[in-house]
């Protein structure tokens, strides 16, 4: 069954991933108004959206757009939930590439985490779930994702999990890794 027909919840050791919805709004606003976190987000090819949201109304608009994009099968946005506290601490987005983005054997992954969750433990857990579940859910062989140099923890986690720097521009953008 397609992830766009029924989006499962994925459970790791530290965090769980479930389809983003309006119930996550209050917690996600803490992530998307965190200037340290936003500085690490990948907003490439997002029509100028920096993902810096400071009001519940703007966060609700983003969630509405993410739901619309899911319904249209553009991408899936999953909320990252701390298994101990139950708090929503970020999101990840994934979609299967097209000839306009990447070849269709690639999935594009974006990870947005609150700055206090930009840790080895959390990122490794997310990357493990991506490998175990999302490659097959999107019918892709490879994952491409961005990590800027100042995102040192993320870069180290990507390398530890088998991602290698592309060392060339992806579309017109820099700092991409592939696994």
Between residues 140 and 169, the one the model is more confident about? 140
DSSP state of 42: -
Q: Which residue has the higher pLDDT, 105 or 74?
A: 74
3-state secondary structure of 137: helix
Q: Is the pLDDT of residue 40 over 90?
A: no
Write the class of the CATH domain 10-178.
Answer: alpha beta
Whether the predicted pLDDT of 44 surpasses 70 = no
Q: Burial, 163: exposed, middle or buried (Cβ in 10 Å; 0-12, 13-18, 19+)? A: buried
pLDDT tops 90 at residue 62:
yes
Higher pLDDT among residues 36 and 50, named by residue: 36
- Residue 171 has what pLDDT? 56
Judge contact between 128 and 162, C-beta under 8 A: no
Q: Tokens representing 52?
A: 């810096």
pLDDT band at 30 (very low <50, low <70, confident <90, very high): very high
- Cα separation, 61 vs 135, in Å, equals 29
Radius of gyration of the chain (CA): 15
Highest-confidence range of 8-22, 32-46, 130-144, 147-161, by mean pLDDT? 8-22
Among 55, 47, 50, 114, CA closest to 79: 114
Map out the domains of the chain as residue ranges: 10-178
Provide mean pLDDT across the span 80-102.
88
Q: What is the pLDDT of residue 118?
A: 97
CA dist 166 and 154 (Å) reads 15
Round to whole Å and give the CA distance between 9 and 170.
Answer: 30
């Amino acid at each position: 069954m397609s992830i766009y027909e029924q989006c499962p919840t994925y459970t790791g050791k530290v965090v769980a991933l479930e389809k983003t919805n309006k119930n996550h709004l209050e917690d996600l606003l803490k992530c998307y108004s965190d200037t340290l976190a936003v500085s690490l987000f990948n907003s490439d090819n997002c029509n100028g959206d920096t993902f810096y949201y400071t009001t519940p109304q703007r966060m609700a608009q983003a969630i509405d757009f993410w739901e619309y994009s899911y319904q249209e099968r553009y991408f899936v946005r999953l909320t990252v939930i701390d298994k101990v506290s139950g708090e929503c601490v970020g999101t990840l987005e994934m979609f299967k590439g097209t000839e306009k983005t990447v070849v269709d054997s690639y999935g594009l992954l974006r990870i947005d985490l609150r700055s206090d969750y930009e840790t080895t433990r959390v990122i490794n857990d997310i990357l493990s779930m991506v490998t175990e579940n999302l490659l097959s859910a999107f019918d892709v062989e490879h994952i491409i994702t961005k990590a800027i140099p100042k995102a040192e923890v993320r870069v180290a986690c990507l390398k530890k999990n088998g991602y290698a720097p592309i060392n060339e521009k992806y579309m017109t953008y820099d700092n991409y890794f592939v696994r």
